[in-house]
Structure 1
Amino acid sequence: HPQPTVSWVHNDKPVPSNDPRVNQPIEPAARPAQPLLGGPLEESPGGTSVFKVPKASRADSGTYQVIIKNDLGQATSSCKVIVQDVPAAPTGPLEASDVKADEITLEWKAPEDDGNEPITNYVLEKRPKGATEWQKVSAFLTTPSATVRGLEEGKEYEFRVMAENAMGLSEPLMTSKPIKAKHPFDPPSGMDKPNVDTTTEDSVSLSWEPPRKGPVSGYIVEKRPKGEKTWSKANPGTITGNSYTVKGLPTGKEFQFRIVPINAAGEGEPSEPTDVVKVQKPPTAPKILDVKKDITAKEGEPFKIVVPYMGTPPDSVTLTKDGKPVPLPSDRFDVQITPDEVIITDKKAEKDDSGRFEVALENEKGKDQVAVQVDVKGPPSSPSGPLEISNVTADSCTLKWNPPKVSKSAMLE
């Protein structure tokens, strides 16, 4: 028979005849065919062609076909070869989808090549930035994501993940840069000065607006006595609303208050403190009670205008005379404010002090006023001239003059 030729095809692509993986046909022993006595013609022994891959790789998988032909025809045969291997590395990027102070959630994609064996699980490892040893997080991950817990806040970590099948572990996929364990937001800031809504004998009620920056989960109210530097917490636990009443305060003592916003990242910047607040009954406008409205004073001596009132003591006291402001206090006038009356003292009455005085009491809640008529009496002034003399005799004469020009307040005997 004519000597055949042998060719190989891999995945529909011819394999070059000089490919080292192909061993050429082994020639059979040369002897002519002999007819068998009483039987058919004996065929010549055939040869062999071997396709040998010393170190198979995944690229060697596929369909192999061998074609043997000579002048009389051809014969073909094929087989499918599956080369199994560990999977390729997981598909990147390996990145964080959620970062918190003590945990990080990582995501990645399955390998593009599973090594012709199903992926059974993923192995995730971590190490602090700068460390050389990897620490196993989990070897039993069945989905391409994981949450790594128990991290140290503020510390940076590197991560790597490997896919595993029955053949073994893939090469690792690493994070492109270290990831810091921290909250995705900062502590809140931008608190405005709180409002003082009301006071009682032992409490102060406050309200406030949320901070302008950052999420907030609650608030802390702090207090300090007037004149002191140290702040102390005024509430147990955390306040979730935007108002709070600080109780158990000593009556009459003065305090300042401020608000500290908080969230998962920690305490934020405190608000500006309130003005000094006195622990007392709720402030009310002063209301003037019965006042002595006609006062007679003696020239050169002091006199007082006493204005009893109820309500919160006034923040300011103003005095006018005949519509003109009188400075308080001054060289001539003193003012004293007590919890139930205001006392204005004219240190030395003058005739010109006679007239209509108006006293006004005012605080943040309102104003009240009252008018008082003051009459200053004193010796009259000199008689008015001219002094005329008439009817002069040896032992007498007649004198004539005009009465003094005095106000109705002058005392004449």
Structure 2
Amino acid sequence: METMEIEESIYQKTTEIDKELKIQLKITGLEPPKIQILKNKREFTNYNFQDNVLTISKPGEIPDNGCYEFIATNSVGRATLKINIRIKDKKSKPPTRPSPPPPPIILTPQPDLSVNISWSPPHDDGGSPITKYLIEKFHDNQWQRVSEVAMEINSYTIGNLEESTEYTFRISAENKIGKSEWTTSEGYKAVVLGVVVPPPRPPFEILAMTQNSFTLRWKPAEEKVSGYLVEKREEGKKAWQECGRSLGWGESWVDVGGLKGGVGYFFRVCSLGVGGGVSEWVGVREEAVKIGGVVTAPSPPQNLQILTITSKSVTIQWSPPKSTGGAQLTSYIVEKLVSMEKWEKIVTLETSVTQFTITNLVNKEWQFRVFAENPIGLSQPAFTECCQLKSHATPPSPPTAPLESRQIALNEIIVTWGIPESDGGARIESYVIAIRDVKKTMWMEVGQVNWDCQKLAVRELEDGNEYLIRIFARNEVGLSEPLESEELVKICNARMGRTPRRSPATVTSRSPKPG
């Protein structure tokens, strides 16, 4: 799921006519998102987004004022962020009252005889920032105050309505000069929703806490729904504000960003019905969640990717999670998808290990996932793309000439060779070295070296004897044909200065240990 973080100071941004406006955003996620911007709930295209910097190109009219909703979407989910932008005229004018919020006011029925109302910011703030919105309802032949909400809030849920009773709602924007004219909604009749949408289920888990964000996870609804909506309310305030939504019945988590460190928040979640409507709200906790003050499970591992694929194995690699949840990581857990919805644990790894090869796979499509773990619990998983194993792998071709050897000490030679021209469709794992005394008929293996080393030191050979040498390359399928020395290798200690005690042949590798 994508997350976006933004400093509180730029929930409202001011610029001048004909000047570019640049806003630094922060987006995190494993998959690059698709970007969309809505201005006052309509498509807006006069922008550029690169390297997490949003540039609005030379706004030229006061009507460019308004609420800009920045939307990032990928295959995992969606994140949104709203910024109120005010365009100042270069000519010095005294501030005035703002224009009214533009119609329409959107009315969305909610459970328990309540309704959610949403609106857009005024086109013109009068030259002074909007400070709050006033909400009223018309009932019993009079207008009644419902609430006042902060300038960054553009929706509010009104409860305790009377069944089958007609209501009208209105919104006014206010700056330091005064209140705007009212924008009035259409009539609304409070009804009990006929379609029962199953709610999300506890337990609610708070994961990957940072100084201004965390991941909220819960159990999916008992029956299929189209997604979930999450709202937040700052401790000490009354207004609820949308802070995230997920699309899909099983997508039972949301990354919540843009929070204030050290501040307490209440959260609630509802399900979105397949055919419309919403479920009842379910509170996450009775007490406020203080941001940055809770030890949680970590965030998912980052940058999970497939490095190599062979006919029987896949090597994956990842980076540590963005947040450890405030506790030290204890392990990584790797799993593979073995059927449509069944995952099987492969291995638990130490936190120093961020690369692993899954072996003994059959020729089919595979997908893998990795969890990070700390003493509190598991993170959300990071997923690889689906991959197809390579087919028809064969043993590699022989190592390449020249096969060279020279005596470097008493009874000791060093042997070198080149890498194969073909790995046979599977990664080279090691080289096998064998020698044969020409007086004998049997070849003797004297050592193996890792794939990235093409030399071996053979010690304690017999003085005066002659030898032949063979080098084999090995992949997961098997051994190649050998590369064989064309000339005999004769041991001559006299050239080294003295004659040592004779002993059986042994071998020493100066390469890394075989994998």
- TM bucket, shorter chain: 0.3 to 0.5
After TM superposition, the score normalised by the length of structure 1 is: 0.33
After TM superposition, the score normalised by the length of structure 2 is: 0.28
